[in-house]
Every structure is written in C-alpha cells, then in structure tokens.
Structure 1
Amino acid sequence: MRRSIALLGLPLLVLSGCAAPGVGSGAPPPAAPDQRPAFTQRADEVAARWRPGPQWRDGYVPLQDATVLGGDPGFTEETRAAFAAGWYRDQIAMPTAVPPQGSIRFPDGVLRVPLVSAADAYAQLDRGDPPPCDGRPRGPEPADATAAPGPDDPVSTTAPTPCIPLTVTSVRLGSAPVWTSRGRADVPAWLFTVAELAAPVARLAVAPRAVGTVPGGAADTGPLPAGLVAAQELRTVAADRLDYLVGVGVCDGAPTPLVREGPDVVVVGAAVVPATGPCTMQLAMKPVSVPLTAPLGDRTVLDVGSGAPLIVRTGG
C-alpha cells in the first residue's frame, strides 16, 4: 500500500489551531499540558492502524454527500430547511434512459464508471413531502386561487413553519467536484435546476455498484483519554485548512482543535476543559478550524476518536 507503512517510522506534526469565529467569546484557552501528549499518542496509534483496501487508491470512494450544491444557492430560511430535508416537487418528466459510461477525473487519473438515469437520481434526491403548515399548499398555487379568505377559514397566530418543497424545472447531465479517497475529483452528476435556488442541485450519477464503501476505524483504540473529544464530520476541505465539528459536553470549555499531519493521513480532534460542576448529559456540536502545514492533497482525514475517515457534510 502506497506510503502508509512509512507512518510507523516517520514522526507526524502536531498543531493546535484556533477555534472558528463565533466559538467562545475570545481566544480559546490553550490545551492543558496533559492533553497534547495524549492526543499525539492516540493520533500515532490511529495512523499506524489505518489500512484501507486497494479500492481506496484505485477505485471510487466518495467522502461527501451524494447531493452537492453547484454554487451559492441564496438560501432563505425555508429553502434551507427544504434542502436539508430533501423536499422536492418535479415539474418535468424525468428522463429514464441510462446514459453511457461516464468518467471520474481524479488528480492521478481517470476512471470509467456506469451511470444511473435522471429518474433514478431524482428518486434518491427526493425524500418526501413537507408537512402541511400555516396555510401553505403542498403543490404549486392554482392559477385561479385569488379568492380572499372566508370568515370560517383558520387564521394562524404563530410564525410560519418552513415547509415548502423545492421546484425542479429542468435537468441535465454534467459533473460536480467531490471529495474522495483519492482527493478532489470531478464526478458525473445530474444537475437539477430549482426555481427557488440561484444554483443547481447536483445528485451524483455514478451507479451504486461502482461506488466503494468507507472503511471503519480501528476497533481496538479504546475510549479517548479525559480532556480529548472526537471529530464528528468535516464541513470544509481546503488546500491549507480543515473546518470540522467536534462533540463536546454542553458545560465543557471551548474546544481547542488539534491536528497531527503525516504523509498519508491527517488526524484531527480537540481538547476541552471538562465541566466540574453539575451538568446535563447533552452533546453539543462545535465548529473548529485548523491550518495545515502542507496541502491536503489526497491525504485521508481521520477522527482521533474512532480512527475512521471523516465525511464532508454540507447539510443546509
């Protein structure tokens, strides 16, 4: 396996980053003296146990949601909720023809893969209808719906609940940038034009039989040492920075993100000062950001808690 054996003999670099803007009321406190060495040891164990199969470097293993935004959508509160929930309505007949094979373009080569039809992609994109609420119809407004409300019509006294679907008006086969096990790739995708959004919604068009699965982490790493918390998901993957979420107790101090870089993997997590008084047993997701000393390239980002690869979740 390319380069991964070198992790056992090469030192990794540990950095502590700054919390993302909005986390805490000022500069986050530095990691406690006994937390950084614990993170280093754990990150070394996670990196040494990382042993993906050949498909990780030769096939197609996406590390991102199959639904991708094709630019800035110009979300409102309602359209953001609809996108996150998968509420769509189609105003066109979805093409059922399966196109010929497509090409995934990786930084290190091209892979030919089978595709799915637009109808199959839309069936995966659309996850149901929004609940009825506050007088909003499930479907488009009828052309003759001009009558004023009657005296017996209900009147809502609460704020409107986001419950509108997104209207698909056209579709075409194109591509979308996707984070994969081989770095960022250009992947065939069905691009759905949505009336309420300023950018298309892309659903990846690669047939399921050609999509590799993300392996789990090492099962024998054990629980995290006290004062360390796991990374939950990636939010942004940039060439020189990682933005991710960590899970902390609601009464814990602000998280200090930690990263350990190696030639094949980057291990991330965070340090916290645990609460000392009574607190409810709740997990809070906190955004953090760390700089990288070298471009991420095709290195895999691993969670220091589970040892598993992190997935990019864009949500709404």
Structure 2
Amino acid sequence: MRINLLLRLLVAGGLLAGAAGCGQGSAGDGGAGGSGVGGGSTHGPEGSTQRARDVSEAWSGSKAARIWRERYFPMDAAVQLPAGAFRNEADERAYATQNFELGGPLPSRSPKEGEVRWRGGGTLALPVSSARAAYEKLARGRNSGPSLVVTGARLGTMTLSTSRGPAAVPAWLFTVRGYDTPLKRVAVAPSELPRPPVGPVEQTSDEQTSDFLLPLSGIGPVSRDEAAVTLRAQHGSCDKGPQVAVLETADNVVFSAGVRDRSDGPCTSEMRSKKVTVRLDRPVGDRMLLDAFTGRPVPYAAPPGSLAPSWS
C-alpha cells in the first residue's frame, strides 16, 4: 500500500474514532461495545453508516444469503488436537512445523460421501477426502527436527462451528504415538462461496467510504453466549489501533473496520493485524457476519501457530 494512501486511511480513521451517535456501538483495543437493533444502527462517519446499511440490505433475503444458510461453511479450525497435547516442547514444535511421519498404514479406501449433521437439524452430503490426502495436509514439514508419529487412522466425526451453527463433520481420526485420544482432521471441503450481492469498496474510488474503511482479516472465536465476536482488524504505524463499528439487524451483523486516533508525523506503509472483541446487543444466532469493506461474510481466521483455516 502506498504511503499517501495509508495516510488518507489513517487520517479518516481519526474521524471514525471521534464520531458518535445515538444507540450506537463500537469496539477497539480488544474492548467491547454494543449496537442498536431493529432497523439497524451504528456509529462512525456518515459514509461508513450508509455503506454498512447498503451491505446489510443487499444480503438480506438474497439468493447468496440462502446459499450461505443451506451449505457448509466452517467457522472453526480444521484440526482438533489430542487430549493433553502437547506432552512436551518437542511435540509442540513438531506440530508447529507440521513435521509428521508415518509409523503404520493408513486406510486405502474411504466412502465417496459423508454427511455434515447440524445440531439444530439438517444434513448435507459432501465428498470425503482420502486418509492419505488428509494426512498430507498435516504433514507438510520436511526437516530433521522432532516429529509426531501417526500409527493409523479411521473415519469418524468432529464437532465444528459453522455458518449454520454447531455440526458433526466427517473427519479422519489419526492415532498419534504417545497420545490416548486421536488427532482429528476435517475430511470434507467447504462449499463453494456464493457470489455476493454487493461488491467491495474500491480503494481507488473518489467516494468518501473508501477513505476510512479497511477490510477485516478474519473472524476468530465467538463467545459461548454468542454475544461477543473476536475479529482481526488492520491498522497502521501511527495510530492507536483498530476499531470496529457495528450495524445489527434481524438478518445480519455488519462490521465496519477503521483506525483510532492517528498521530501526526510520517507513517510507514506496513499494515498490522490486531484482535478486536465486539459485544453485540443480542446473540449472533443464525445471522450472517459481514464485512462492510468487502461486502462478503467475514472469513474464519486460524489463530497464529495453528494449521490452515477451514476456508478463506
């Protein structure tokens, strides 16, 4: 990103931090904030509010929203570790570097399809990957350091958070030497993302919206009560970090990310990522979580040090 563009973004981010409104909410620096419901409300510059409403209205009742609610879009890590992992630093390092080795045979056959079963009802049949393919997604390390030894595998299930709520998902359960419970790896791929009903903000646009909005890097854990959402937001080198304004409606939640309190002086061009926790007025439920900048659902972001995210 060019320095002059970043300066414009950060200057406008200062406006985002200073604006206020009635029945509105935002969060920054890991803090929490709420927002109004009903017709939907938010805070931030007028352009940010209007962009969030445009995104919300475009998705509400759309074909893309129906597809999102009917298909399989994981919002959780693709791997679940054995109980008690890790026994020691060597095993932790082996996992972090994806250094695995086979100490036994893997199943040579698998069913063509498996069912994703949602806790709230509903199923979806999807192609199942082979045990070998799932193993190779784990074992990408090729070094002489410590390794985790896989001695076998069987097809089972693991529970994941998805865009439709918790689901039992087909998974390969790998036996790992030294552990009493298996390492689980998802055995089905996410559904194809629907074509969004609204386009992203153009950074080269002359519209005010592009001056203060930034894209979110991803979504992390949702609290047990589904009322707090952790996001990864971007900021620059001469501000006080990211902040996220929220627009809540009955159908969806739209997050508008920007920066707070830009300081004077020259700025370098790098962008940084930081966690921001946003508290909603009511639980997420089956509402879509949308990014005002991209006009798309916020993708799941795997925490640092974990294996690949479930979808992107």
- Please confirm whether the aligned pair reaches a TM-score higher than 0.5, indicating the same fold: yes
The CA RMSD measured in Å over matched residues stands at 3.2
Which residue is 1:134 aligned to? none
1:198–1:275: structure 2 CA closer, same or farther, 3 Å change rule? farther
Q: Which of 11, 14, 20 is 2:30 aligned to?
A: 20
Give the number of the structure whose alpha-carbon radius of gyration is greater: 1
Aligned to 1:117: 130
Aligned length: 261
Q: Deviations over 1:55-97 (max 9, x none)?
A: 4233323344533446673486665554354332222211111
Contact 1:191 1:200 in 2 (8 A): yes
**Number of the residue aligned with 1:126:** 139
Letter of the structure 2 residue corresponding to residue 122 of structure 1: Y
- Return the letter of the residue paired with 1:94: L
Please give the alpha-carbon distance, in whole angstroms, between the structure 1 residues aligned to 2:180 and 2:269.
41
**Which of 241, 258, 270 is equivalent to 2:228?**
241
The structure whose residues are more often helix, as a share, is: 2
Matches of 1:255 and 1:204, distance apart in 2: 33
After superposition, residues 1-316 of structure 1 pair within 5 angstroms as 14-20=24-30, 35-50=44-59, 51=62, 52=64, 54-69=66-81, 73-74=85-86, 79-80=91-92, 82-99=94-111, 101-106=113-118, 107-130=120-143, 138=144, 163-195=145-177, 200-206=182-188, 208=189, 211-215=190-194, 217=196, 218-219=198-199, 221-223=201-203, 224-238=209-223, 239-272=226-259, 273-315=261-303, 316=305
Contact 2:219–2:229 (8 Å) recurs in 1: yes
Output the CA distance in 1 between the equivalents of 2:104 and 2:302: 27
Instruction: Tell me the amino acid that sits aligned with residue 308 of structure 1.
Output: R
1:271-293 CA-partner distances (Å, limit 9, x unpaired): 32234311211111111101122
Which amino acid in 2 is paired with 1:233? G
Summarize deviations over 1:32-62 as a string: whole Å, max 9, x none: x983544322211222233416542333233
- Amino acid aligned to 2:132: A
The alignment partner of 2:211 has SS state of coil
Contiguous gaps of at least 5 residues in structure 1: 1-12, 22-26, 131-137, 139-162
- TM-superposed deviation, 1:262: 2.0
Query: Which TM-score applies when normalising by structure 2?
Result: 0.70
Identical-pair percentage:
33
Unaligned 5+ segments in structure 2 are: 1-22, 34-41, 204-208, 306-312
- The alpha-carbon deviation at position 254 of structure 1 amounts to 2.4
Change (3 A) 1:282 1:195: farther
Counterparts of 2:176 and 2:70, CA distance in 1: 35
Query: C-alpha distance in 2, partners of 1:219/1:193?
Result: 45
Where 2:202 maps in the other structure, the secondary structure is: coil
The letter for the 2-side match of 1:46 is: V
Query: Under a length normalisation based on structure 1, what TM-score does the superposition of the two structures give?
Result: 0.70
Q: Is the 8 A contact 2:82 2:179 kept in 1?
A: no
Partners of 1:18 and 1:198 lie apart in 2 by 41
Distance 2:195 2:236 in 1: 25
1:196-228: CA deviation from partner (whole Å, max 9, x where unpaired):
77874321112x5xx412246532533444344
Q: Match for 2:95: what amino acid?
A: F
